[in-house]
Amino acid sequence: MELEIINHDIESMVFGDTTGLSGKELTINHDELKTHLLEDRRIQDIDIQIAVPGESCRIGVVFDIVEPRAKQTGSGSDFPGLLGPFAVAGQGSTHVLRGSAVTVIDPSAFPGITSKMLEMQGEPAAASPYGDLCHLVLSPKLLDNSRRDAVQNALRMLSVKASVYLANVSQGVESDDIDIYNLDQSDTDSRAGIPRIAYIAQIHGHQMTVEVDEPILYGSNTEGMMPMILNPNEILDGALVASYWVMRVETYFYQNHPLIKELLRRHQSKEITFAGVIVTVAASKETDRNRNCMLAANMAKSTLKADGVVLTKYGGGAPHVDMGETARLCEAMGMPTVVQVSDSSGDRKAESAMLFNYPEVDAVIYGGGGDTGWDVGPPERVIAGTPEVAKVLKNLTYIEGGALCGVTNQQGASKIRATVY
Amino acid sequence: MRVVHYLNQFFGGVGGEEFASTGISSQEGAIGPGRLLQKLLGEESEVVTTVICGDNYAAENLDEITEYVVNAVKAAKADLFVAGPCFEAGRYGVAAGAVCAAVSAQLNIPVVTGMAEENPGVDLFRQEIYIIDSGANVGAMSEVLGSMAVILNKLNNDEEMGSPEEEGYIPQGIVRDAILEENAATRILNMIIAKTKGEDYKSELTQTAFEPVPAPPAVKDLTNATIAVVTDGGLVPKGNPDNMPPIAAEIWGSYDIASLDDLEEGDYEVQHRGYDNRHVLNDPDRLVPVDILRELEKAGKIGKVYKEFLSTSGLANPIANSRRLGQEMAKKLKDAGVDAVILTST
Amino acid sequence: MVGSNRVVQGKGIVYPLGDAEISKEDEKELRRSIVQDALDALTTEVEDQQ
């Protein structure tokens, strides 16, 4: 399966008479976009703004960040099963407006310890990959706020619709900047002796009840899901979006999945053979957890024939334990593992961070962020869902690393490491 | 700098294991390793007092010798305090750790010791003081003293302490952020390639050894036993009378169930943000099984259900705090004559 | 598991001693059996973590 990514760099984003791409400037017809998005009758009104790097601007509370991408016409389906019709993602050609993002605000969310913000200026901006992007920020007002999951579904649909609308400006536009993603493993001779590495990726955690209309994998809400094998291209090309409730994961970093891209890069250079990706969920019931962990580990061994396995989790404590158990089983099957854990040591002590105690799961990448933060002042512009939230954001004097999108990240993007002293 | 040095009977020149019961005493000046230590600390430093104590005596009288040492340090008007290094000697390591921790806490002067990582003194005191990783080999004495001297000087000059690898101390388990050039994906790949190939790698987080808790003996007779329920799922009476926080609670509450045959929807709320609490709210027995326990009590299968259930919020609750909560809850229940506890967790 | 010597599996994170997806009678029976497992653990001598 081969995926061609056609990159179009975006360096500026402005409103104008016609939605289009001219060089590296993306022009957006505000009213046309608004009309298009208001086709979803659940949305009463929508505030559309642009925020660019270096601006004194704070944005929150973020629901999700999605990179504008569209399949070259005839080449596949946009966000199949969620927005477009079912088709296997990860093939054909996809246009990407690199350097831009669609950021959707959650009008019902209030800033708190797990809330997500963006800062476009200063040290916080420099610490997040999102500080370098031009953002189209959507702040909708829903007609009916009585059901939280219905609100969130509207936000999810908004994010992907806007992403495709923007990226469609580049249909047929050529680019020199092409990436080819192809997990070709047919060159078995030249790969003899090279370690086969599999990636077991949690894509949801069921400690919070899964909503009926919460599309995650090809539009499915992952209820009852058992581990399954995906081609990494599928994750990069719209098969997977973030759930409604999660910390440290954005759809943008599924589309640009740092760990998958690194695995593919080292596959190309023949440092490893990327054996494949197994996606799984951290189940709520004990029986389901035991079953999922067993199946995932076994798939890595028997089907993907992995020599080693890397694992990431999705969420907080319970998924962390799940990941530990899966890793333990992998080790028992003779596959060394590396797990990535987040900094959950509320008291800044390593003893509180581990949560599982298997001596064989001894290779840990420790994502930090717990004592990173910045003193800030009031920004010139705040984009928020309600005046109350805007006030809170404006008056912040300190932003914690964990509260800013992209700083602490569970998909491999984070550059902060927690070091044990 | 005026230094006081604590040594055991062996390094203090009294004798071997046969002298382990020697009591505690002080002498002027440096003894044994203390002589090299003061040289390493520099011209202006002098071990003014050496305190020597037998390992057995120390182990059996830890409070007494700790007080003795603190007083000796005060009397000497010391600027710095050193114990050991102890290498693998366990009683020595525990004593050295204890006296260092006490001097540091009470007198606020730089302290340091050294011992092998397996020494029981490590897990007890590593978070409070710097312990140089001496390894087991006593032949490394001068290197170890050298590292200890560096730590003392840094502490004394208020210099920033480097990482465990840089300075040679056993990780204290304190977590600090470092901003790197490479992202986590790169680090993950580097580590898995090394591990799969059987090469060396350094985990960014290592296991903390938890002291094993010996299993209490089994309940002999359930029909005469009082059973209590404790939960960390954050179940509290409606209105949250004790103001239980929903995360990392530093308090616990006890809630009356003496007259109840089961817990009813609407009478309780959940202060715990880490799980979807709607099912427990619909029927709190799903977290605190009063209904079944009462059934068993009435049928005579268990002696008594304790009159209250105890509750706290276990979400993201640091170990040190959880330990304290557990100890307090256990004491209350033990004093009340409870024989066994069912602890429920989400 | 760390620290506890007698550990009994609950049904699920959101209902350790219950199950919202079965009938009330079945759920009570399930709770009885989990509590019984707990009592059995309490009356069994243990050397190591179980």
Nearest to A197 among B196, B201, B210 (CB): B196
Min distance B162 CA to chain A CA atoms (Å): 8
Per-chain mean pLDDT for chain A: 93
If you count DSSP H runs as helices and E runs as strands, how many of each does chain B have, helices first? Answer: 11, 13
- What is the bridge-based pairing of β-strands A100-105 and A134-142? parallel
Query: What's the whole-number mean pLDDT along residues B219-247?
Result: 92
In a domain, residue B228? The reply is yes
C13 contacts in A (CB within 8 Å)? 206-207, 284-285, 318
Question: Are the CB atoms for A153 and A91 separated by under 8 Å?
Answer: no
Q: Residue A257's closest chain B neighbor by CA?
A: B185
Beta-carbon contacts of B88 under 8 Å, excluding residues fewer than 6 positions away, are B115, B116, B118, B119, B136
Nearest to A347 among B205, B278, B321 (CB): B321
A319: part of which helix (H) or strand (E)? Answer: helix A317-332
Q: Which of A37-46, B261-270, C10-19 has the lowest mean pLDDT?
A: C10-19
Q: Which of A350-359, B14-23, B197-206, B277-286 has the lowest mean pLDDT?
A: A350-359
Q: How confident is the model at residue A73 (pLDDT cuts 50, 70, 90)?
A: very high
C10 contacts in A (CB within 8 Å)? 286
Residue B175 backbone dihedrals phi, psi, to 5 degrees: -100, 130
What pLDDT does A257 receive?
97
In a domain, residue B193? The reply is no
Q: Whole-angstrom Cα distance, residue A280 to residue A410?
A: 15
Nearest to C35 among B233, B283, B292 (CB): B292
Domain check: are B15 and B133 in the same one?
Answer: yes
pLDDT tens readout for residues A108-139: 888 775 569 999 999 999 999 999 999 999 99
Query: What's the whole-number mean pLDDT along residues B22-32?
Result: 95
C9 contacts in B (CB within 8 Å)? none
CA atoms within 13 A on the CB side of B38: 20
Domain check: are B128 and B265 in the same one?
Answer: no
Min distance B77 CA to chain A CA atoms (Å): 31
End-to-end CA distance of chain A: 45
Domain check: are B265 and B333 in the same one?
Answer: yes
Query: What's the whole-number mean pLDDT along residues A29-43?
Result: 96
**CATH classification at residue B114:** 3.40.50.2300
In a domain, residue B114? The reply is yes
In a domain, residue B174? The reply is no
Residue A23, pLDDT above cutoff 90: yes
Give me the count of residues in chain B.
Answer: 346
ipTM surpassing 0.85, yes or no? Answer: yes
Domain check: are B234 and B108 in the same one?
Answer: no
Beta-carbon contacts of B309 under 8 Å, excluding residues fewer than 6 positions away, are B228, B229, B230, B231, B235, B254, B255, B257, B288, B290
SS3 of residue A15 by DSSP: strand
Query: What's the whole-number mean pLDDT along residues A267-281?
Result: 96
Q: How confident is the model at residue A352 (pLDDT cuts 50, 70, 90)?
A: low
Q: How confident is the model at residue A346 (pLDDT cuts 50, 70, 90)?
A: low
Q: Residue B126's closest chain A neighbor by CA?
A: A421
Q: Residue B249's closest chain A neighbor by CA?
A: A346
Q: Whole-angstrom Cα distance, residue B277 to residue A35?
A: 39
Per-chain mean pLDDT for chain B: 92
What pLDDT does C1 receive?
45
Domain check: are B234 and B139 in the same one?
Answer: no
Q: Which of C2, C39, C44 to mutate to test the interface with B (most CBs of B within 10 A)?
A: C39
Q: Whole-angstrom Cα distance, residue C42 to residue B220?
A: 9
SS3 of residue B112 by DSSP: strand
Domain check: are B156 and B246 in the same one?
Answer: no
In a domain, residue B212? The reply is no
Q: Whole-angstrom Cα distance, residue A274 to residue A309?
A: 10
Contact assignment for B192 to A363 by CB distance below 8 Å = yes
Residue that has been written with the tokens 């088709």 in this structure: A87
Beta-carbon contacts of B8 under 8 Å, excluding residues fewer than 6 positions away, are B20, B52, B53, B54, B55, B58, B86, B89, B91, B92, B95
SS3 of residue A343 by DSSP: coil
Q: Which of A204, A223, A284 to mutate to test the interface with C (most CBs of C within 10 A)?
A: A284
- Helical ranges in A333-373 per DSSP H: none
Q: How confident is the model at residue B211 (pLDDT cuts 50, 70, 90)?
A: low
- The residues pairing with B83 across neighbouring beta strands, listed in sequence order, are B6, B113
Domain boundary among B127, B147, B167: B167
Query: What's the whole-number mean pLDDT along residues A82-111?
Result: 95
pLDDT tens readout for residues A137-179: 999 999 988 888 899 999 999 999 999 999 999 999 999 999 9
Q: Which residue has the higher pLDDT, C2 or A380?
A: A380
What pLDDT does C50 receive?
45
Question: Are the CB atoms for B100 and B83 separated by under 8 Å?
Answer: yes
Domain check: are B62 and B135 in the same one?
Answer: yes
Domain check: are B240 and B309 in the same one?
Answer: yes
Separation of CA A335 from chain center: 27
In Å, the largest CA–CA distance within chain A is 63
Note down pLDDT in tens along chain C; length 50 residues: 455 678 887 877 778 888 888 888 989 999 999 999 999 888 888 765 54
Domain check: are B15 and B154 in the same one?
Answer: yes
- Helical ranges in chain B per DSSP H: 33-41, 55-60, 62-75, 90-107, 120-125, 141-156, 164-167, 184-196, 278-282, 290-298, 319-335
- What is the bridge-based pairing of β-strands A273-282 and A228-230? antiparallel
Contact assignment for C10 to A286 by CB distance below 8 Å = yes
Beta-carbon contacts of C49 under 8 Å, excluding residues fewer than 6 positions away, are C1, C4, C5, C7
Beta-carbon contacts of B225 under 8 Å, excluding residues fewer than 6 positions away, are B219, B302, B303, B304, B339, B340
Identify the burial level of A271 via C-beta atoms within 10 angstroms of its C-beta, where 0-12 means exposed, 13-18 middle and 19 or more buried: middle
Identify the burial level of B18 via C-beta atoms within 10 angstroms of its C-beta, where 0-12 means exposed, 13-18 middle and 19 or more buried: exposed
Beta-carbon contacts of B62 under 8 Å, excluding residues fewer than 6 positions away, are B94, B95, B98
Domain check: are B158 and B246 in the same one?
Answer: no
Find the angle CA(A343)-CA(A355)-CA(A295) to the nearest 5 degrees: 105
Query: What's the whole-number mean pLDDT along residues B197-207?
Result: 88
Query: What's the whole-number mean pLDDT along residues A358-376?
Result: 88
How would DSSP label each residue in A56-120?
SEEEE-EEEEE--EEEPTTS--SSBTTTBPP--SS-EEEEEEETEEEEEE-TT----TT--EEE-
In a domain, residue B206? The reply is no
- What is the bridge-based pairing of β-strands A117-119 and B175-179? unpaired
What pLDDT does B210 receive?
63
Residue B86, pLDDT above cutoff 70: yes
Question: Are the CB atoms for B109 and B78 separated by under 8 Å?
Answer: yes
Edge-to-edge strands of the sheet including A196-205? A228-230, A273-282, A196-205, A308-312, A337-341, A364-366
In a domain, residue B270? The reply is yes
CA distances (Å), origin A417, targets A164, A338, B7: 34, 15, 39
Of all residues in chain B, what percent are helix, strand and coil, respectively (each to 5)?
Answer: 35, 20, 45
What pLDDT does B236 receive?
95
Residue A265, token pair as written in the block: 């890069």
A286 contacts in C (CB within 8 Å)? 9-12
pLDDT tens readout for residues B106-136: 999 999 999 998 888 898 899 899 999 999 9
Q: Which of A187-201, B96-110, B201-215 has the lowest mean pLDDT?
A: B201-215
SS3 of residue B219 by DSSP: coil
Residues 293-322 of A with CB under 8 A from B: 307-310, 316-318
What pLDDT does A113 receive?
58
- The residues pairing with B113 across neighbouring beta strands, listed in sequence order, are B83, B131
Contact assignment for C18 to B218 by CB distance below 8 Å = no
Nearest to B292 among C5, C16, C31 (CB): C31
What pLDDT does B208 receive?
65
Query: What's the whole-number mean pLDDT along residues B70-84?
Result: 96
**How many independent structural domains does chain B possess?**
2
Give percent of chain A with pLDDT exceeding 90: 76
Q: Whole-angstrom Cα distance, residue A420 to residue A370?
A: 12
Residue A353, pLDDT above cutoff 80: no
In a domain, residue B13? The reply is yes
Domain check: are B228 and B128 in the same one?
Answer: no
A409 touches chain B (CB under 8 A): yes
Residue A329, token pair as written in the block: 């089983």
Domain check: are B163 and B249 in the same one?
Answer: no
Contact assignment for B176 to A419 by CB distance below 8 Å = yes
Domain boundary among B147, B167, B187: B167
Residues 24-43 of C with CB under 8 A from B: 27-28, 31-32, 34-35, 38-39, 42-43
What pLDDT does C15 receive?
82
**What's the domain range around B296?**
222-344
